[in-house]
């Protein structure tokens, strides 16, 4: 009788695959990896079940596994259980889910730049001067190169790359110095994180406010039960949520259990890791995709070996192979970055809640602007609601002023970028040597280029979007497929020469700020300027040290940063997100404005936020400026209930792709017909062209499936897809979508 195993393979197959174990082989343990044939391919899969009864095998011919990669479990049972749940909930392949948290490749750790040679290739570039290690040099080296060398001279035993980047030395400069022979490089193992820096930095005891103490007492009580509970920590910006996380983590580790901390973006992991390393030293590990393959593998291996008490990471860290978890924290739980937008389309926050449930742990969801889903659960009693209504500093929330840009345009013309109020506010802060953050959540120089003669716009040939102008590179780009070309000088449609730019981007705002404040040190933080690894940390470190006066950026500048010298936040085009065809547009606008406003006045000096908008009466902008979450929630939930959108019911977004609009629409009608046969017809909306009707050359049709019972809704969708095997591969399934596009 054949000995069978069920294997999860990292392909979009919902079912586990059954293979036989060759005679004479040991039975591979659950959680181990095996090499298996899949059609003409050989793939590495994960053993989910062994000693499978022959009755559970499929009718197809069963093939042998080709190789046992591991003799011991590679993944613990807790990760397998979580992946199987996520695959069922998000209607994706269990093998795809398991691949999310597994690093690939291995290595020793980060490079350390140790010293430089005085006479590379027989030519003297500089010579050592005084005993303190200073030097003189001819004008052969740039400012950044000199900064790097000066830093290395003063530290005899070398500096890590992350430390040098934090001092303002980019990776490209280090590479050039290495190529010139001025710097030598050595490797050393990773201990606890990206580097050994700050592992044992002493942390001063912080006096809790009365609100913090009360919140901590309630969370400690929940933690002591050692059973699954969910708490929503709704604390305004600057109310001290991080200190509560630290103390809960300390208590959890003291009791012999472990801690998982999730943050929404890679740029926030460094600050979080520093805070926790101050308490726990080398028992802290980091997990996110921004690490090199060898860094991530080294830390993942330490976690799996039980050498780590606390893990800080982005959404994929929810699948970290850590056992005995007692506390899970999801900071900024509202953030859309927790949702993965490609397969498997899981939500890190919701998977974290399930991980805590399976582990019998306390999960704390923290935010100044909770998602409607989490707040809805809290007020209905499913989550415990804990509120922090005051800042820990003596300063209150920043004063917020709305500027109606329609009036500015009427008086100064339609090209105004900085209102008179915002321009005056910036000048006043510069005079007082304070810092300013300017937010516009759109990168590039302008949103589109159009022809004044025929009205045509420069559009992407692959996607149904206008091309964005990037003045720095002199090109127009599509932010979806990456297509780019030189900024046109003539209209493609009519060959007209009168082309104009429309809409603002962060490049344009940066230019206006530089022209307005010629002596200010201005920097820009968006995906264009933060392309290389470590760039975000470098920029934020420089801003924190006061080397930048004005920081212009997209939503990157709004999240979780604490800069005491920032006393003014300016928001340009606050309503830029309201024109998106998405039922969450108002919620995202409210969250972004509230979060960025909270960056001002976090130190000893009062803060101010100036919001520029053409729609000052929109409730999301109005309530954000009043910092009134409860009022916003009441209006937004009324809209959601009326339009039958989450969180009042479940939603699954199905995108059908085709080579033509007619082909996609035809398949869309087949899908709708099958869904209607299996469920109630009023649950189904569509098929209709998707908001982004063409993407990367494919036409897209959208079908929305709604239902009062989320599990039942998923069963109906999965059953319908099984009846349509010929078009299934052309259908993307997004359960609980965050962006409906």
Task: Note the pLDDT tens digit of each residue in 65-121.
Answer: 999 999 899 999 999 999 999 999 999 999 999 999 888 754 333 344 444 443 333
Contacts of 376 (CB under 8 A, 6+ apart): 637, 647, 648
How far apart CA 715 and CA 652 sit, in angstroms, is 11
C-beta of residue 284 within 8 angstroms of C-beta of residue 277: yes
What pLDDT score was predicted for residue 414?
75
Q: Calculate the CA 459 to chain-centre distance.
A: 28
> For domain 210-388, is the CATH number 3.30.420.40?
no
Residue that has been written with the tokens 């002023």 in this structure: 401
Q: Which of 37-41, 151-155, 388-392 has the lowest mean pLDDT?
A: 151-155
How far apart CA 15 and CA 103 sit, in angstroms, is 24
How far apart CA 474 and CA 600 sit, in angstroms, is 34
Q: What kind of architecture, by CATH, is found in domain 650-735? A: 2-Layer Sandwich (3.30)
C-beta of residue 600 within 8 angstroms of C-beta of residue 391: no
User: Using one digit for the tens of pLDDT, what is the confidence trace for 287-315?
Assistant: 887 777 788 888 898 999 899 999 999 99
Residue 714: pLDDT band (50, 70, 90) is very high
Q: What is the pTM of this model?
A: 0.83
> For domain 399-444+519-639, is the CATH number 3.60.150.10?
no
Averaged over 524-536, what is the pLDDT? 80
Average pLDDT of the residues of the chain = 85
C-beta of residue 420 within 8 angstroms of C-beta of residue 408: yes
How far apart CA 659 and CA 462 sit, in angstroms, is 12
Selected residue with higher pLDDT from 61 and 49: 49
Per-residue tokens: 112 = 């350390």
Per-residue tokens: 392 = 């820990």
How far apart CA 139 and CA 137 sit, in angstroms, is 7
Give the H or E element holding residue 330. strand 325-331
How far apart CA 220 and CA 327 sit, in angstroms, is 11
Neighbours of 90 (CB within 10 A): 24
What pLDDT score was predicted for residue 151?
65
Averaged over 496-506, what is the pLDDT? 83
Query: Residue 25: pLDDT above 80?
Result: yes
Averaged over 123-131, what is the pLDDT? 28
Contacts of 122 (CB under 8 A, 6+ apart): none
Residue 602: pLDDT band (50, 70, 90) is confident
Instruction: Give SS3 for 35.
Output: strand
In this structure, what are the phi and psi dihedrals at residue 318, rounded to the nearest 5 degrees?
A: -65, -20
Which three-class secondary structure string do you get for 308-373? CCEEEECHHHHHCCCCCEEEEEEECCCCHHHECCCCCCCEHHHHHHHHHHHHCCEEEEEECCCCHH
> For domain 3-100, is the CATH number 3.90.940.20?
no
User: Using one digit for the tens of pLDDT, what is the confidence trace for 312-352?
Assistant: 999 999 999 999 999 999 999 999 999 999 999 999 999 99
How far apart CA 508 and CA 568 sit, in angstroms, is 20
Q: Which of 561-570, 667-676, 713-722 has the lowest mean pLDDT?
A: 561-570
What pLDDT score was predicted for residue 446?
83
């Amino acid at each position: 009788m054949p000995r069978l195993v069920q294997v999860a393979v990292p392909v979009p197959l919902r079912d586990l695959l059954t293979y036989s174990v060759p005679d004479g082989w040991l039975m591979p343990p659950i959680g181990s990896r095996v090499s298996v044939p899949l059609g003409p391919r050989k793939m590495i899969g994960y053993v989910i079940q062994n000693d499978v009864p022959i009755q559970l095998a499929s009718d197809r011919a069963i093939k042998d596994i080709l190789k046992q990669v591991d003799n011991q479990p590679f993944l613990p049972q807790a990760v397998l259980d979580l992946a199987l749940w996520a695959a069922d909930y998000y209607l994706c392949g269990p093998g795809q889910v398991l691949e999310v948290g597994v690093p690939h490749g291995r290595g020793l750790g980060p490079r350390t730049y140790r010293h430089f040679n005085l006479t590379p290739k027989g030519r003297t570039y500089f010579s050592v001067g005084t005993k303190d290690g200073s030097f003189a040099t001819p004008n052969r080296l740039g400012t950044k190169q000199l900064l790097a060398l000066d830093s290395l001279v003063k530290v005899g035993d070398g500096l890590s790359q992350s430390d040098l980047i934090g001092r303002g030395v980019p990776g490209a400069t280090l590479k050039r110095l290495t190529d010139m022979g001025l710097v030598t490089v050595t490797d050393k193992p990773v201990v606890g994180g990206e580097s050994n820096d700050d592992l044992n930095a002493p942390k001063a005891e912080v006096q809790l406010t009365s609100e913090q103490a009360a919140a901590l007492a309630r969370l400690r009580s929940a933690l002591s039960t050692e059973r699954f509970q969910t708490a929503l920590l709704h604390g305004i910006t600057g109310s001290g949520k991080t200190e509560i996380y630290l103390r809960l983590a300390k208590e959890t580790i003291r009791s012999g259990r472990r801690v998982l901390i999730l943050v929404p973006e890679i740029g926030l992991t460094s600050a979080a890791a520093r805070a926790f390393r101050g308490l726990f030293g080398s028992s802290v590990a980091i997990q996110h995709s921004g690490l090199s393959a060898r860094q991530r593998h080294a830390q993942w291996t330490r976690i799996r070996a039980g050498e780590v008490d606390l893990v800080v990471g982005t959404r994929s860290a929810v699948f970290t192979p850590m056992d005995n978890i007692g506390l899970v924290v999801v900071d900024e739980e509202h953030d859309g970055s927790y949702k993965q937008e490609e397969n498997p389309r899981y939500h890190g926050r919701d998977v974290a809640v399930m991980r805590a449930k399976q582990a019998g742990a306390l999960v704390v969801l923290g935010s100044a602007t909770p998602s409607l889903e989490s707040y809805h659960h809290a007020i209905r009693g499913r989550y415990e609601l804990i509120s922090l209504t005051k800042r820990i500093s003596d300063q209150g929330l920043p004063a917020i002023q709305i500027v109606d840009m329609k009036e500015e345009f009427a008086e100064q013309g339609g090209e105004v970028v900085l209102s008179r109020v915002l321009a005056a506010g910036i000048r006043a802060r510069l005079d007082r040597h304070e810092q300013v953050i300017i937010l516009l959540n759109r990168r590039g120089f302008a949103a589109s280029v159009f022809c004044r003669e025929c009205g045509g716009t420069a559009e992407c040939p692959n996607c149904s979007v206008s091309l964005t102008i990037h003045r720095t590179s002199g090109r127009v780009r599509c932010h979806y497929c990456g297509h780019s070309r030189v900024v046109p000088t003539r209209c493609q449609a009519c060959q007209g020469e009168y082309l104009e730019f429309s809409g603002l981007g962060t490049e344009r705002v940066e230019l206006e700020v530089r022209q307005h404040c010629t002596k200010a040190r201005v920097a820009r933080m968006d995906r264009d300027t933060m392309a290389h690894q470590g760039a975000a940390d470098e920029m934020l470190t420089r801003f924190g040290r006061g080397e930048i006066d004005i920081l212009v950026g997209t939503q990157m500048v709004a999240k979780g940063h604490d800069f005491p010298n920032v006393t003014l936040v300016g928001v340009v085009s606050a309503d830029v997100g309201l024109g998106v065809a998405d039922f969450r547009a108002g919620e995202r606008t409210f969250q972004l404005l509230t979060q960025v406003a909270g960056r001002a006045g976090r130190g000893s000096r009062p803060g101010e936020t100036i919001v520029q908008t053409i729609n000052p009466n929109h409730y999301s902008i109005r309530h954000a400026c009043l910092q009134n979450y409860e009022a916003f929630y009441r209006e937004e939930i009324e809209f959601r209930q009326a339009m039958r959108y989450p969180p009042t019911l479940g939603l699954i977004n199905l995108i059908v792709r085709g080579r033509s609009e007619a082909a996609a629409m035809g398949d869309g009608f087949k899908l709708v017909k099958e869904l209607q046969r299996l469920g109630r017809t009023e649950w189904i909306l569509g098929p209709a062209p998707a908001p982004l009707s063409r993407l990367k050359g494919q036409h897209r049709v959208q079908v929305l499936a709604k239902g009062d019972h989320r599990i039942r809704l998923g069963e109906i969708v999965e059953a319908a897809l099984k009846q349509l095997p010929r078009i299934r591969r052309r259908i993307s399934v997004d359960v609980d979508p965050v962006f409906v596009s």
